[in-house]
Amino acid sequence: MGEQIPLVDYLVLDDGDPHLVAQECKGCGARFFDRRNACAGCFATDFTSVPVATDGTVRAFTIVTFAAPGIPTPFVASVVDCDGTQVRANLINVDPDPEHVRDGMKVRLATYPMGTDSAGTEAIGFGFEPAT
């Protein structure tokens, strides 16, 4: 098997314990997943990398039934509260219907292969699955 690489820069796979890493503003504590030159909250420019909890609670979701060509539907897009850090991600390993998904449900980070290139490098994505 070839190398595994995360689909996004803020997914860490190295240590065998997959987790997300946010950039936390040293001025106000706001957290961001993308690169920032300045904080959107207080305009400070100093950030530190912090791990994000891998367990969370669904705070909002929608069941997507129409998407761009090639995107399989239905799927569940959600906002998960991970100990105060809001993460936008799809819910995976759950039936995409209101009988199986609800606000307040407990979930945990899960990774999955998204595809392999001709050199054998496998892209790894993430989502959240129901906590058992």
Angle at 86 between CA 85 and CA 92, to 5 degrees: 120
Our count of domains for the chain comes to 1
- pLDDT at position 69: 92
User: What is the C-alpha to C-alpha distance for residues 1 and 30, in angstroms, rounded to an integer?
Assistant: 39
User: What is the C-alpha to C-alpha distance for residues 80 and 107, in angstroms, rounded to an integer?
Assistant: 8
Sequence letter at residue 1: M
* Residue 78 and residue 128 in contact, taking contact as beta carbons nearer than 8 Å: yes
* Residue 34 and residue 26 in contact, taking contact as beta carbons nearer than 8 Å: no
What residues make up the domain containing 77?
A: 4-130
| CA 67 from centre of chain | 19
**Residue 43 per-residue DSSP state:** -
Low-confidence ranges of the chain (pLDDT < 70): 1
Angle at 26 between CA 24 and CA 32, to 5 degrees: 20
- pLDDT at position 132: 76
- pLDDT at position 35: 86
